[in-house]
């Protein structure tokens, strides 16, 4: 066999137990309850680890010695969701529980939300669907998807209509006297 063997990405955190980040889970639950808006969820997701599913795809089979069809070759594939309008979406999950809820045979690959958005844009997908099978589904699309992808790739200055600001910590408040002596 010759050729380049694809590399498996190194995990972001080898000690990751597969659970959802508490801030992300709380933001999604609050969004579902109507006590938080999409901005709150995006803020929680912006620095979070997501799990991208990888599934085995049969590429070649053969009939074995006992007359049964068996796998000869398979490849690992990144599944995409295709909407009724033909637009594609990349799937991502907040936890292994959410991933298993969608498809128990899928294997998780760790990636940051920004990396997932960058991959979606590179794949010409219209969206990233987070936790498609629940507990709370959330979609990143449009300008937000493009902005997250641009942040990851370092091409933010090429986006039109997007303002990037650096937030500096506020100076400590001055002590005020409520009552002054005269």
Domain regions of the chain by residue span: 50-58+73-158
Specify the pLDDT at position 18: 93
* Residue owning tokens 């912006």: 46
Specify the pLDDT at position 175: 53
Specify the pLDDT at position 176: 52
Cα–Cα dist 117/156, whole Å: 13
Specify the pLDDT at position 118: 93
Q: What residues contact 36, with CB distance under 8 A and at least 6 apart? A: 27, 30
Asked if 128 and 139 touch (Cβ cutoff 8 Å), the reply is yes
Closest alpha carbon to 46 in 124, 120, 151:
151
Specify the pLDDT at position 77: 73
What is the DSSP code string of 85-140? TS-EEEEEBSSHHHHHHH-TT-EEEEEEHHHHHHHHHHTT-SEEEESTTSSS-EEE
Specify the pLDDT at position 2: 39
User: Which residues make beta-bridge pairs with 128?
Assistant: 90, 140
* Residue owning tokens 């408040």: 173
Q: What residues contact 137, with CB distance under 8 A and at least 6 apart? A: 129, 130, 131
Asked if 130 and 90 touch (Cβ cutoff 8 Å), the reply is no
Specify the pLDDT at position 9: 55
Specify the pLDDT at position 19: 95
**pTM exceeds 0.75, yes or no:** no
Cα–Cα dist 48/42, whole Å: 10
pLDDT beneath 70, residues of the chain: 1-12, 57-65, 67, 69-76, 156-182
Specify the pLDDT at position 15: 82
Sheet strand arrangement including 80-82: 80-82, 88-92, 127-130, 138-141
């Amino acid at each position: 066999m010759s050729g380049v063997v694809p590399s498996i990405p190194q995990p972001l955190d080898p000690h990751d137990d597969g659970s959802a980040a508490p801030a992300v889970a709380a933001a999604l639950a609050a969004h579902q309850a109507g006590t938080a808006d999409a901005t709150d969820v995006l803020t929680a997701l912006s620095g979070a680890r997501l799990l991208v599913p990888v599934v085995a795809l049969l590429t070649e089979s053969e009939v074995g010695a006992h007359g049964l069809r068996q796998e000869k070759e398979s490849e690992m594939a990144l599944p995409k969701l295709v909407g009724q309008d033909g637009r594609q979406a990349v799937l991502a999950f907040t936890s292994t529980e959410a991933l298993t809820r969608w498809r128990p045979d899928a294997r998780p690959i760790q990636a940051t939300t920004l990396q997932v958005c960058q991959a979606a844009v590179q794949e010409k997908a219209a969206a990233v669907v987070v936790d498609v099978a629940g507990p709370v589904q959330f979609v990143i699309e449009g300008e937000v998807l493009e902005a997250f992808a641009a942040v990851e790739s370092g091409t933010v200055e090429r986006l039109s209509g997007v303002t990037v600001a650096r937030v500096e910590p506020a100076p400590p408040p001055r002590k005020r006297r409520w009552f002054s002596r005269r």
